[in-house]
Amino acid sequence: MLLSGSKLNLPLLLVICGILQRSVYADDKLVFASPTQTLGTDDELDKGMPVGAQLQFTSVVFRDVARTPLTDRYLHKEVSWTGCSFDLSKAPELLLTAPGGTQLPPKDGADAQKHAALKGGCGMGMVTKAGYEQGVALGAWLRRRYTATHKLLPAGASQLYVRTSYHNRTMLAMRAVLAGLGGSQGAAPAASSLTLPRSVQGVASPPGSEVMYANVGRCRALGRNMRAAEKDAHTPGEGFEEEGRDAAQSVRMFLKLPEHDSHSWVSWKRLLDAIMCLEANGLPTYDGMNEVMAGVINREATQRVQTVIGPSCPPEAVPSGSQLCHGLIQLGIGPLVGALGAQVTAAAKCAEQGWGGDCASTPRLALYSGHDTSLLPLSAAFGVPLTQWPGFGASMTLELWSLPGGGDKPQLHVRLLYNGRVMDAFGKAGLMPLAGFDLGVLRRFGVASADHHKQLCNAAPGAAGGAAAAAGAGAAEEKGMGHVGHVVGAMEQRGGP
């Protein structure tokens, strides 16, 4: 077998990849296709919906768009990175405040990481023109579906909610999406009355208190849980300690990775990020790259990171193994689940009232600009954990629908889309009654307040409540953070390696 559990069969892999090296992979063929190229049409998405069904609210969480890598560890020095300077005149500015209302200082990707310049002039982690165009395409799709077809914003931007993590790449991704949503950019803007102001109000958490990903820097219990998850999965670190140096040398040799990487282990997440960045920006990857090798790297990165930030949890009624799984998701992405849940709940009440009165300012379209490590645990919380790494511009969309036949009050259901396609995990037509979603997802994983999250994170190992328990992993805090968890958390917390 190519993969045995989580262990890679390197000799067999090299044989297969050697056979397919020149026959499968072509320079003009994308291994990691852009998610914005395959978004569903309204006819496809609404086919099978009951007559009289009405869309009431939508929240969209998307990851950053095509950019330069976050580290030069796997980059050949001769690769030239250009395309980080492009016209932003039609993209709305972001006026960001912290959740408490404090104005945050502006940030601009142009001066983000000059100390980490790459050949060609770009810095690490900077959005490129290709990425900006991805964001515009996603925004144009949102405009067509949610403002032209389903008319979710009849009052304009007053019912639009915008939140981004406080990183240059996610803020610029949001600006690109807003350019497409507002119709200022994008081919043949959909017929919609929506216009956005030159500056759009948004929310962002200041550094050190982010909720859009598993923030190990502010949650000690999460670090302990990550360590326990790695131990349970028998994957102690990103370097295959069972195969160790030999595995790293084999992969490095076959792909002809740069010699300046002196590590004795391979970071599958960082290697995958480098490959995706190269390909998305039309740059050559590695001499030994092919679809088989790309698939293995993708699978290894996804499985390892999902293990520590978004594992597949058993039903709540099944106690075995569920405590640690629950803790990883709740402590990591619970605040985001709680925020989404609060908006869905508010929209449900307004839908029952016909959106009158105070509902005129209640959001009907919520946009969240996050990371790949936002989507991975969020998918697990929703019960549909991803098996492949989310590509640049990938999105997860939660729709709230009202169905006829409920008497005085509409029957409210939710539906989940991934990259503009219905995920069938919720049942017929992808619909789940709101009550079931509230009980099975929001109440199970959501964290309603920052104080509650802080209380869970500071709980002692083995404390009652499940979320803060570390399942026997209560070592010293500095040693409690697993290697994969450290890499994932540190990369997002610092905005780079």
Q: Per-residue pLDDT averaged across 438-465, rounded?
A: 83
Name the pLDDT band for 117 (thresholds 50, 70, 90).
Answer: confident
pLDDT score recorded for residue 148: 93
Per-residue pLDDT tens digits for 270-294: 999 999 999 999 998 888 888 888 8
Q: What is the mean pLDDT of the chain?
A: 81
More confident residue, 426 or 312: 312
Distance of CA 64 to the CA centre of its chain: 8
Question: Which among 318, 328, 345 has a CA at the least distance from the CA of 380?
Answer: 328
User: Is it the case that residue 193 has pLDDT exceeding 70?
Assistant: yes
Q: Which residues pair with 372 in a beta bridge?
A: none
Per-residue pLDDT tens digits for 375-392: 999 999 999 999 999 999
Determine what percent of the chain is predicted with pLDDT higher than 70: 76
Q: Per-residue pLDDT averaged across 139-153, rounded?
A: 95
Q: Per-residue pLDDT averaged across 451-478, rounded?
A: 58
pLDDT score recorded for residue 21: 47
Spell out the domains of the chain, with CATH numbers in brackets. Answer: 36-462+483-496 (3.40.50.1240)
Q: Per-residue pLDDT averaged across 450-475, rounded?
A: 62
Determine what percent of the chain is predicted with pLDDT higher than 90: 48
Per-residue pLDDT tens digits for 235-270: 444 433 444 456 566 777 788 887 666 666 778 899
User: Is it the case that residue 67 has pLDDT exceeding 80?
Assistant: yes
Name the pLDDT band for 188 (thresholds 50, 70, 90).
Answer: low
Say whether pTM exceeds 0.85: yes
Per-residue pLDDT tens digits for 19-34: 444 433 334 455 677 8
C-alpha–C-alpha distance, residues 488 and 373, integer Å: 8
User: Is it the case that residue 492 has pLDDT exceeding 50?
Assistant: no
Q: Per-residue pLDDT averaged across 432-436, rounded?
A: 93
Per-residue pLDDT tens digits for 291-350: 888 888 888 889 889 999 989 887 764 444 568 899 999 999 999 999 999 999 999 999
Q: Per-residue pLDDT averaged across 344-370, rounded?
A: 94
User: Is it the case that residue 469 has pLDDT exceeding 80?
Assistant: no
pLDDT score recorded for residue 22: 41
pLDDT score recorded for residue 288: 80
Range with the poorest average pLDDT among 9-23, 370-384, 439-453, 470-484: 470-484
